[in-house]
Structure 1
């Protein structure tokens, strides 16, 4: 089974994706990591050398290259913002799970992480505005939303696994009806 995690930065996508992949004995594909490996540059280096537009193109290519794989796929915070990426996520046939968190939780989790070019250029108000500008799209592409602020990664994984079990049962039922 494929599972895709979306959401704003520091909402837990990578942590939960890694744990979920281990529980399911699946590959975890982190799109940000795939971009770093392909470009042979860190994300801040890509932003500094080529700009955000180039990074977003790399992100789009990474999504297209990986969306069909039997894996847990973790997207970057901006991945769903492109219309073609949103359509890809919606039409992928995989459950898309939105991990969400309050802005203070996000700020606390980011701390002094220098590997987040957009976060490094924004204050708390700017981060809140960026998150708010993305929220509608996140919810548009997602089949399930989980508020992560007060949950452990284990608890989040269990909610995802319960949802995906129901998703599979519904898919099996639809296949039987056809």
Structure 2
């Protein structure tokens, strides 16, 4: 991998990842989409049928399988919260780039989403709590940090390209 993107849900990991990959003429890999491909089930189905623990196990297996491939990897918002994934992301030679996004921006981006099993279950206060719980994990494995608020995906991509 050329770059690994991490951040809270709605931070732009997939959007920026696709654009960055296109600019670098590399494939884009979305970790959640790979999990869907492997299991034949949507993420929300995996959560509802098997729970978050099983999903995190699938996520770790898929993460490890993708690391040696060419491309730009967009992780899920919770990928770094598992201790095993955190250690993997800290040890990998590929730059891990944190897309930092304020909670207000996240809420604007994902308010109507039906494809995010966690956000649909949480109140604003619970979402803020989750946001604050995950932030230290993101910080612990990020090699680079870019604020995405008030920046277009192209501006973020340019920043990343200039700092890789």
What is the TM-score normalised by the length of structure 1?
0.90
Aligned ranges 1:55-134 → 2 under 5 Å: 55-134=55-134
Question: Counterparts of 1:10 and 1:129 in 2: how far apart (Å)?
Answer: 16
CA distance in 1, matches of 2:84, 2:57: 11
- The alpha carbon displacement at 1:35 in A equals 0.5
CA–CA distance in 1 between the matches of 2:2 and 2:68? 8
Unaligned ranges ≥5, structure 2: none
Kindly report the root-mean-square deviation, in angstroms, between the aligned alpha carbons of the 2 structures: 0.8
Higher Cα radius of gyration: 1
1:107 Cα offset (Å): 0.7
- Measure, in 2, the Cα distance between the counterparts of 1:127 and 1:88: 26
User: Which digits, 9 at most, give the CA deviation of each residue in 1:96-152, with x for residues without a partner?
Assistant: 100011111101100211110100000111111101001011011001111101100
What count of residue pairs does the alignment treat as equivalent?
Answer: 164
Aligned mates of 1:5, 1:22 — CA distance in 2: 15
The answer to whether 1:32 aligns with 2:32 is: yes
> What is the CA deviation profile of residues 54-94 of structure 1, one whole-angstrom value per residue up to 9, with x for unaligned ones?
11111001100001212100100111111111111111100
Alpha-carbon distance in 2 for matches of 1:102, 1:7: 11
CA distance in 1, matches of 2:54, 2:103: 27
Paired residues of 1:89 and 1:96 also in contact (CA < 8 A): yes
Return the TM-score normalized by structure 2.
0.98
CA distance in 2, matches of 1:129, 1:67: 30
Q: Please state whether the residue corresponding to 2:118 is helix, strand or coil.
A: helix
Describe the SS at the equivalent of 1:25: coil
Query: Which sections of structure 1, spanning at least 5 residues, go unmatched?
Result: 165-178
